């Protein structure tokens, strides 16, 4: 009886996949798996991480790939990640304190993926300026609580 090349589990003569680890056992099965993975990757990339059939083209238009962004847009995106994650880290160091929660919400609000997540329920993505305004409000509340408390 042959064994799986990945996990050495016994597999049947006619098995296309290993019952233990799921590794393909034939060239046809490997090609089928590659095609399936490619289709799934294209579907995820085309739909912006999920969504229903009609929103796939609008999601890819609203969120262009990194290569399609101008230098200014790439700088904005990178800055948003740095500012958002930096604020989240600062907030997590102060978790028991009251000022940590607005800072945490502000850090999450400025992250670029939040625009993508809010686009579907709102009908369109929020503008970057709106996200920066939400961040500023939460950050100011957090700083005010830090000073007052």
**Ordered per-residue pLDDT tens for the chain, 149 residues:** 788 888 888 988 888 888 888 888 888 888 888 888 888 888 877 665 444 444 444 444 455 566 677 888 888 888 889 999 998 998 898 888 888 899 898 888 888 888 778 777 777 777 888 888 888 999 899 889 888 88
Quote the pLDDT of residue 63. 54
Q: Which of 44, 48, 68 is nearest to 125 (CA)?
A: 48
Q: At what angle do helices 128-148 and 100-110 cross, to 10 degrees?
A: 170
Residue 24: helix, strand or coil by DSSP?
A: strand
Question: H helices of the chain, where?
Answer: 27-47, 56-62, 71-93, 100-110, 112-122, 128-148
Give the length of the chain: 149
Q: Nearest 5°: phi and psi at 134?
A: -60, -45
Distance CA 138, CA 124 (A): 22
């Amino acid at each position: 009886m042959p064994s799986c090349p990945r996990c050495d589990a016994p597999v049947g003569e006619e098995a296309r996949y290993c019952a233990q680890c799921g590794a393909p056992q034939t060239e046809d099965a490997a090609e089928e798996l590659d095609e399936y993975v490619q289709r799934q990757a294209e579907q995820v990339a085309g739909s912006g991480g999920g969504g229903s059939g009609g929103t796939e083209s609008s999601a890819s238009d609203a969120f262009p790939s990194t290569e399609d962004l101008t230098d200014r847009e790439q700088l904005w995106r990178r800055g948003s990640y740095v500012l958002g994650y930096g604020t989240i880290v600062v907030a997590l160091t102060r978790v028991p304190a009251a000022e940590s929660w607005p800072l945490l919400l502000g850090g999450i609000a400025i992250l670029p993926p939040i625009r993508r997540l809010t686009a579907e329920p709102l009908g369109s993505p929020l503008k970057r300026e709106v996200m920066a305004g939400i961040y500023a409000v939460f950050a100011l509340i957090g700083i005010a609580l830090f000073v007052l408390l």
